[in-house]
């Protein structure tokens, strides 16, 4: 059994694979590299087999989404650690070892991510993960280095390894045993925020998730769904409601969920002038969530039995929406805090 399997989930990403697989091969000598093809219609599979013969290919018959694709593949891959890597990520020399060392030296850590910078603006963090992910009490995610659409320049201000609530699915090293312990990704998410749900579960089980900034990668981002895509808006708002519902204590859910709904409807109104389709995506997301509420209740009960607690951390105890839009706190260092566990 290999120690580290770098697993790249691909869907019609032939051009990304051509561009970024060479850096992965060059800088990942200690790992087995596997491209999992999610039913692509382009020439990804024959191209990888012909141009990168050292890379293993696992071809799935259909597109099962980010969640289903990884779950299906990882059940077939024997490794101590899985390195989940997007196809549009450029890795750097020495990127893998600090991540492995973090897990090797602390059994309490279940998953880690590197510092993720933007491929197109290399001095700045990248939207999807930056220097580690957090969430506020209403279930809105943000990062050390990125709050909503404000992305910071990397000036070394976050060059310390710390516990975070979630590690980015764009580049995450996770213990295989812990991935399977929580059942992998929730396949109903299909794509987006699935890593937050996974890491929140791990935190509730008493494990930690860290950002290891000694490791650096560069992420293109938006390779599957662009930032303005109504489908991406749908996934983000629907899955955000699911996150809040599954992981909020009983004593708080009754008031947090209605406030979250009101905030989401306010967001829909702000979408209207530029994009009615994005505003409608928020409404569709809420309709889908409440139509499937019984299924969400079942998931909540099932994991509550496994975890036996809603305590997890670090969670931002104030509203990131209020801090950002009303109080003007645009960067992570400005946030008044505190970060702590739910009561």
Torsion of CA 12, 14, 16, 20, to 10 degrees: 140
Angle CA(311)–CA(184)–CA(132) in degrees, nearest 5? Answer: 60
Confidence of residue 212 (pLDDT cuts 50, 70, 90): very high
For the chain, the structural domain boundaries read 2-219
Residue 224: which pLDDT band, with cuts at 50, 70 and 90?
A: low
Tokens of 262: 């009101």
Q: From CA 92, how far away is CA 102, in angstroms rounded? A: 18
pLDDT tens per residue across span 232-291: 999 999 999 999 999 999 999 999 999 999 999 999 999 998 899 999 999 999 999 999
2-219: CATH class: alpha beta
Q: Using one digit for the tens of pLDDT, what is the confidence trace for 61-80?
A: 999 999 999 999 999 999 99
Residue 241, C-beta contacts closer than 8 angstroms, at least 6 positions apart: 139, 257, 260, 261, 264, 285, 286, 289
- Token representation of residue 97: 């070892």
The model's confidence at residue 228, banded by pLDDT at 50, 70 and 90, is confident
CB atoms inside a 10 Å sphere around CB 297 = 12
The distance in angstroms from the start CA to the end CA of the chain is: 42
> What is the DSSP-derived secondary structure letter of residue 225?
S
Residue 264 tokens, joined? 């989401």
């Amino acid at each position: 059994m290999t120690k580290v399997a770098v697993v790249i989930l691909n869907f019609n990403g032939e051009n990304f694979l051509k561009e970024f697989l060479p850096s992965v091969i060059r800088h990942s000598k200690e790992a087995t590299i596997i491209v999992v093809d999610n039913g692509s219609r382009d020439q990804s599979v024959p191209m990888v087999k012909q141009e990168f013969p050292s890379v293993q290919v696992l071809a799935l018959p259909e597109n099962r989404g980010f969640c289903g694709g990884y779950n299906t593949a990882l059940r077939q891959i024997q490794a101590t650690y899985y390195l989940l890597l997007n196809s549009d990520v450029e890795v750097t020399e020495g990127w893998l070892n600090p991540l492995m060392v973090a897990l090797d030296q602390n059994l309490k850590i279940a998953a880690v991510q590197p510092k993720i910078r933007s491929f197109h603006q290399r001095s700045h963090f990248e939207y999807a993960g930056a220097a580690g992910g957090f969430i506020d009490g209403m279930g809105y995610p943000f990062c050390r280095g990125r709050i909503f659409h404000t992305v910071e320049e990397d000036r070394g201000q976050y060059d310390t390894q710390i516990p975070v609530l979630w590690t980015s699915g764009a580049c995450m090293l996770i213990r295989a045993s812990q991935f399977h312990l929580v059942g992998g990704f929730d396949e109903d998410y299909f794509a987006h925020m699935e890593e937050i749900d996974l890491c929140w579960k791990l935190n509730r089980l008493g494990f930690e998730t860290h950002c290891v900034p000694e490791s650096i990668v560069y992420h293109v981002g938006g390779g599957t769904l662009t930032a303005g895509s109504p489908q991406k808006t749908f996934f983000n708002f629907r899955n955000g409601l699911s996150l809040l519902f599954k992981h909020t204590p009983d004593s708080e859910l009754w008031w947090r969920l209605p406030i979250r709904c009101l905030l989401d409807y306010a967001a829909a109104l702000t979408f209207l002038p530029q994009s009615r389709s994005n505003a409608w995506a928020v409404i569709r997301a809420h309709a889908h969530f409440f139509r499937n509420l019984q299924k969400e209740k079942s998931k909540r009960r099932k994991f509550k039995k496994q975890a036996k607690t809603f305590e997890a951390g670090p969670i931002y105890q104030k509203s990131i929406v209020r801090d950002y839009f009303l109080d003007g706190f645009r960067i992570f260092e400005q946030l008044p805090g505190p970060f702590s566990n739910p009561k």
